[in-house]
Amino acid sequence: MPELPEVETIVRAVKPYAEGKKIQAIRSDTPRLFRECKSFGAVKKAVEGKRIIALERIGKNIVFRLDGEYDLWLHLMMSGSLLTGREAGKETYIRMEIELDNGKKILFRDIRKFGRVRLVEKIDTSMRLGPDALVVSFSQFAYIIQRKKKAVKTVLLDQSLVCGIGNIYADEILWYAGVMPLRNTDSLSMEEIKKIYKYMNTVLSAAIRVAGTSFRDYRKPDGSEGGYFAARKVYQRTGEACAKDGALIQRTIIAQRGTHFCPAHQL
Ligand SMILES: [Zn+2]
């Protein structure tokens, strides 16, 4: 699943291509993509002819800031990716095509059709997303962590608390921080919260530098693969030796998600 680093990588790549251009046309043969909108027709009406003022990432959402009444929010969900500079006919699984006024296209490719488009009114405050993981200050983060009395991994995954972290990076961050994913947040020391915060930043930044985790269907907009997956320490390394101490990585389920940890150094 594309997480913050993958989405950030996509946004950085597509930004120069999209910003300042007008949306000439939007096409789709996948009504499911617009399940949270009135209809595809309503989306078409709201975005065609509008200029893309900015392309941003908010948590794991790609946000097309438009000069109209609405912004277009795209969530890649499980298998989505954005492609640019390619002919629609040569690609498979294209669920949406945004044609720009210079004739170029932004394609949304999604094998499993879990992706989601939303029209968000500029004044709408119902999105309920917490601060972005790369932007949140330490004091804000510590407050969020301490306020919740839940497994620390569950808190990291909750987009309404801090947005952008998903399953892969939650496991990686906790491995580096030496904290067991099941630990209740009210048992964490300030020292441990500091470590989680520190590694949240270093892990996400490192992943952005190597352009995301190439995992399953994730691709950068130019179609190439990202490079974090090979460097991961714990995610999907069940039964392998921990890089720190050689203990065997174990797997459990937290918040319905496969969770990987080292039983030796994660306390
Ligand atoms: Zn270990």
Active site residue 60: yes
pTM over the 0.85 mark: no
CA angle centred on 224, ends 220 and 228, rounded to 5°: 70
Residue with tokens 């597509």: 14
> Coil, strand or helix: which one is 261?
strand
Domain architecture of the chain: domains with CATH: 4-121 (3.20.190.10), 138-261 (1.10.8.50)
Q: What percent of the chain has pLDDT over 70?
A: 90
Over residues 228-251, mean pLDDT: 93
- Condensed to tens digits (0 to 9), the pLDDT of residues 69-91 reads 899 999 998 888 898 876 556 78
- Condensed to tens digits (0 to 9), the pLDDT of residues 235-246 reads 999 999 999 999
d(CA 182, CA 194): 18
How far, in Å, is the centroid of ligand 1 from the Cα of 230?
A: 18
Q: Which of 5, 6, 50, 60 is catalytic?
A: 60
Active site residue 2: yes
How far, in Å, is the centroid of ligand 1 from the Cα of 151?
A: 19
How far, in Å, is the centroid of ligand 1 from the Cα of 94?
A: 42
